[in-house]
Structure 1
Amino acid sequence: MKPRYERPGVTDGSTFVSFLRCEDGFDFAWHFHREYELTLITGGSGTRYVGTTVERYLPGDLVLLGPELPHTYASSQWSEAAVTQFRHDFLGPGFFELPQFGAIRSLLSGSARGLSFAATPELQADVARLPRLEPAEQTVRLLDVLSHLGTQTPAPITGAGYAAAPSTAVRDRVDVICRHLQQTHTEPVHLEEIAALVHLTPTSFSRFFRRALGCTLTDYVNQLRVETASRLLTTTSLPITEIATRSGYRNLANFNRRFRELKSMRPTEYRSAHPAATLSPYDANVIGLPR
């Protein structure tokens, strides 16, 4: 039940790999690895899980994740992503310690919490093309992309209270909890039952969860439920009352309050601001990829 350690398909002595991931749906596969991961969503929509942060992804979503940071993408529809995984020393030991690479060094350090970028179409196009380049050009282009990202002001993904893999025992417990809640958050969540999954008393569990994740169990469950509601709001015409119920809320007023806390707008406003048209695949003409 814990996240699997994933080893990227690095071959022929290379120090990084870049590939296009295109599937009918991204399965929930909680994992981590020792490589940095740069991911651009080029088509489809779904939910991105990074550490304990749960957010919707759409075409153009660009993130950089540091080593050992548990993550996954999940969707029930076709999705496509350009993924590049690389080691810290992919250009040689000490390369990024050189003075001229201070911005990239800071970028890589900040990726320990995961970084989300509001990148220009040109930069997105460069990231999307990486899987299609020859190795030498791919290496140069990746360095160029990292250089450009180093000039951006990204948003940290995980909260300040979250630190990846504080210990194997803690991480294993967190992973059991997160996977279980991903599958069951739309049903009533009882503290006693969740605590029993990791063999803790409710009181001990509450302390453990806050220390390990930087938030309460209620806070995390609300993240999951609000993201489920966001998906339903933008992909269905269901009435708000039914969306609230399907997302795990039995009280409409509580649903509206929690949704506004996390999205800074009411559910009806969110639906109006995210029409179904925004879920179309990323424009292939912009990034030069065949459909």
Structure 2
Amino acid sequence: MRPRYEQPGIPDGTTFTCFIRRQEVFDFAWHHHREYELTLITEGVGTRYVGTTVERYYPGDLVLLGPDLPHTFASEPYEGMAEAAVAQFRYDFLGTDFFALPQFRTLAGLLARSALGLHFGSVPGEVHALLTQLPCLDAAAQTVALLDTLRYLAADATAMPITGPGYAPAPSTAVRDRIDAVCRHLQQTHTEPVHQEQVAALVHMSSTSFSRFFRRAMGRTLTDYVNQLRVETACSLLTTTSLPVTEVAVRSGYRNLSNFNRRFRELKGLRPTEYRAAHQQASPA
């Protein structure tokens, strides 16, 4: 139930890794690693899980995730392949003090802000080209291109933190194991009734102790987190099916339509029908 700890392999002749991830489907695979990770979605849609936050992703979605920040991308059925351009590197991949040099102060600030994850609202064509072409370059050119990418992103005013300030990206092992067990369980069961006593029992805690523990570790209540999961499931159904909103609500875990509408608007700022209409208008012909 704990997240998989990944240790990305580093190719000979370089000190970081970059690749194109291309699969029929990105399965839910909750994991973390010591490396920073840049991920640009190039094909497919799905749900991005980072720390406490659950959000839809589309082609052009770009994130920078700091070390030990649990995450995964789960794609949805798609006629083509799920694809992403990925670069993973450690803080010292160019030497212990490289980012401490004054000329790289803005890059160091970018990396520091990525502790909670950063999502970029727009992806300049230069950044898209740099990331997608990285695996085709020789080691020296890859290094220059990665630094150029970070330089662009450090100046990007659209960068916003992904997960909430109440979340600790690298809590103690015991805390992380419990939280990850709960998150994996809820990812599979959130569309059914969720009872705090049962969730608490998964990590061998009383309901009262678990309530305090979860809020302290995640910066939000269990109910808030479950609502986030359910609303993102509803977003998927609204944009990929023509199901009536009443059916979307039920399939997302809501038995009460007014409660569904209220929760959806709280998190998305739109009614479900407005969200569906806006997505349809924004979709390519």
Question: What is the aligned partner in structure 2 of residue 222 from structure 1?
Answer: 227
State whether structure 2 residue 130 is matched by structure 1 residue 126: yes
Native 8 Å contact 1:40 1:127 kept in 2? yes
Q: Give the Å deviation of 1:134.
A: 1.8
Match of 2:102 in 1: 99
Alignment check: 8 A CA contact 2:31 2:70 kept:
yes
1:288 match: none
- Could you tell me how far 1:18 is from its partner in structure 2? 0.5
CA-based RMSD of the aligned residues comes to 1.3
* Structure 1 residue 52: Cα displacement: 1.2
- What SS is found at the alignment partner of 1:21? strand
Instruction: For structure 2, list consecutive stretches of 5 or more residues without a partner in the other structure.
Output: none
TM-score if structure 1 supplies the norm length?
A: 0.93
1:91 shift after superposition: 1.3
Match of 2:6 in 1: 6
- Mapped to 2, the partners of 1:261 and 1:279 lie a distance apart of 27
Q: Is the 8 A contact 1:64 1:115 kept in 2?
A: yes
Runs of 4+ in 1 over 4 A off after TM superposition: none
Residue aligning to 1:71: 71
Moved more, 201-210 or 70-79: 70-79
Residue type of the partner of 2:234? Answer: A
TM-score, normalised relative to structure 2: 0.95
Deviation, structure 1 residue 128: 1.9
Listed one character per residue, the Cα deviations across residues 21-65 of structure 1 (whole Å, up to 9, x for unaligned) are 111110111100000000000010000000010000000000000
Q: How many residues were matched structurally?
A: 280
Q: Report the more deviating stretch, 131-140 or 200-209.
A: 131-140
Q: Which residue of 2 aligns with 1:156?
A: 161
What fraction of aligned residue pairs are identical, expressed as a percent? 69
Larger mean CA deviation between 131-140 and 237-246 belongs to: 131-140
Deviations 1:175-216 (A, max 9, x none): 000000000000000011001001111100000000000000
Q: C-alpha displacement at 1:164, in angstroms?
A: 1.3
2:143 is matched with which residue?
139
Q: 1:127 to 1:117 in 2, by over 3 A?
A: same
More moved, 75-84 vs 21-30: 75-84
Tell me which residue corresponds to 1:193.
Answer: 198
CA contact (8 A) 2:4 2:31 kept: yes
Q: Could you tell which deviates more after superposition, 56-65 or 127-136?
A: 127-136
